[in-house]
Chain A
Amino acid sequence: MSTIHDLFQQYKPRENFWDEMCSEAGIREPYSVMYEFFKNTPVKALHEREELSKKLFMRQGITFTVYTDNEGIERIFPFDIIPRIITAKDWDFIGKGIRQRLKALNLFLKDIYSDQQIIKDGIIPGELIYSCPHFLRQVVGLKVPFDIYVHIAGIDLVRDSDGSYVVLEDNLRTPSGVSYMIENREVTKRIFPNLFPKNNIRSVTDYPLILHDNLVSLSPRQVKNPGIVLLTPGIFNSAYFEHTFLARFMGIELVEGRDLVVENHHVYMKTTRGLQEVDVIYRRVDDSFIDPLEFNPNSILGVPGLMAAHRKGNVAIVNAIGNGVADDKAVYVYVPDMIKYYMNEEPILKNVKTYQMADEDEREHAFANLDKMVIKMTNEAGGNGMVMGNKASEEELEMAKQNILKNPREYIAQPIVNISTSPCFIDGKLQPRHIDFRPYALCGPNGIEIIPGGLTRTALKEGSLVVNSSQGGGSKDTWVLMGK
Chain B
Amino acid sequence: MLSRIADSLFWISRYVERADGILRMLKVNYATSLDQSTSSFSWRPALKTFTSLSDAEIEAIEKNSQDVLYFMIDDKKNKNSIINIITQSRENARGVQDNLTLEVWEAINGFYHNVKNRQNLIINDPLSSITDMIGDCISFYGALEITMMRGEGWSYINLGKFLERSLQTADILESKFNELSVDQKKAIAIPYWRHLLLSVSGYEIYLRTYRTGVQSKNIIDLMVHNTNYPRSVLYSLNHVSQIFSALREVVQPDSHKKIEYKIGKVRSKVHYSDVDTIYRKGLNNFLRDVKKDLYIICDDLQNLNYSG
Contacts and interface: CB of A to CB of B under 8 A. Distances in A.
Interface string B47-61: 000000000000000
A290 interface: no
B30 interface: no
Interface string B94-118: 1111100010011001100100000
Contacts of B152: 272
B4 A59 contact: no
Contact of A273 (B106, B110, B251): B251
Interface stretch (B158-166, B213-221, B224-232, B300-308): B300-308
Contacts of A59: 106, 109-110, 113
A222 interface: no
Interface string A22-66: 000000000000000000000000000000000000111100000
Given A270-B305, A270-B306, A271-B306, A61 B3 contact: no
B109 A60 contact: yes
A271 B1 contact: yes
A189 interface: no
Given A253-B2, A271-B1, A61 B252 contact: no
B113 A272 contact: no
A244 B100 CA distance: 10
Main secondary structure, interface of A, reads: mixed
Interface in B1-60: 1-4, 6
B250 interface: yes
A247 interface: yes
A240 B91 CA distance: 12
A74 B102 CA distance: 19
A61 B2 contact: no
A273 B250 contact: yes
B6 A272 contact: yes
Contacts of B95: 235
A256 B4 contact: yes
B210 to A, nearest CB: 42
A248 B97 contact: yes
A66 to B, nearest CB: 14
Contact of B94 (A235, A247, A255): A235
Query: Which size class do B's interface residues fall under?
Result: 20 to 34
Contacts of A271: 1-3, 306
Contacts of B2: 253, 255, 259, 269-272
A305 to B, nearest CB: 14
In this complex, which of A240, A270, A271 has the most chain B Cβ atoms within 10 angstroms of its Cβ?
A: A271
Contacts of A235: 91, 94-95
Query: Which size class do A's interface residues fall under?
Result: 20 to 34
Contact of B98 (A254, A259, A269, A270): A254
Given A59-B109, A59-B110, A272-B250, A244 B305 contact: no
B111 to A, nearest CB: 11
Nearest to B99: A254
Contacts of B91: 235
A247 B1 contact: no
A272 B251 contact: yes
A246 to B, nearest CB: 8
In this complex, which of A58, A61, A274 has the most chain B Cβ atoms within 10 angstroms of its Cβ?
A: A61
A141 B170 CA distance: 65
Contacts of B94: 61, 235, 240, 244
Interface in A310-334: none
Contacts of B113: 58-59
Nearest to B307: A270
Contacts of A272: 1-3, 6, 152, 250-252, 304-306
A242 to B, nearest CB: 11
A388 interface: no
A436 B95 CA distance: 32
A261 interface: yes
A163 B300 CA distance: 64
Contacts of A248: 97-98, 102
Interface string B126-152: 000000000000000000000000001
A244 B97 contact: yes
A273 B5 CA distance: 13
B106 to A, nearest CB: 6
A235 B98 CA distance: 12
A96 B91 CA distance: 44
A235 B113 CA distance: 18
B308 to A, nearest CB: 7
Contacts of B6: 272
A275 interface: yes
A6 B117 CA distance: 36
A10 B133 CA distance: 46
A268 to B, nearest CB: 9
Interface string B241-262: 0000000001110000000000
A60 B251 contact: no
A190 interface: no
Given A272-B251, A274-B252, 13 more contacts: A59-B109, A59-B110, A60-B105, A60-B109, A240-B94, A244-B98, A256-B4, A259-B4, A261-B308, A269-B2, A270-B305, A271-B1, A271-B2
10 contacts: A61-B109, A244-B98, A248-B98, A248-B102, A254-B96, A259-B2, A272-B2, A272-B252, A274-B306, A275-B308
- Counting from the closest, the 7 A-B pairs by CB-CB distance are A247-B98, A270-B306, A248-B98, A61-B109, A244-B97, A244-B98, A254-B98
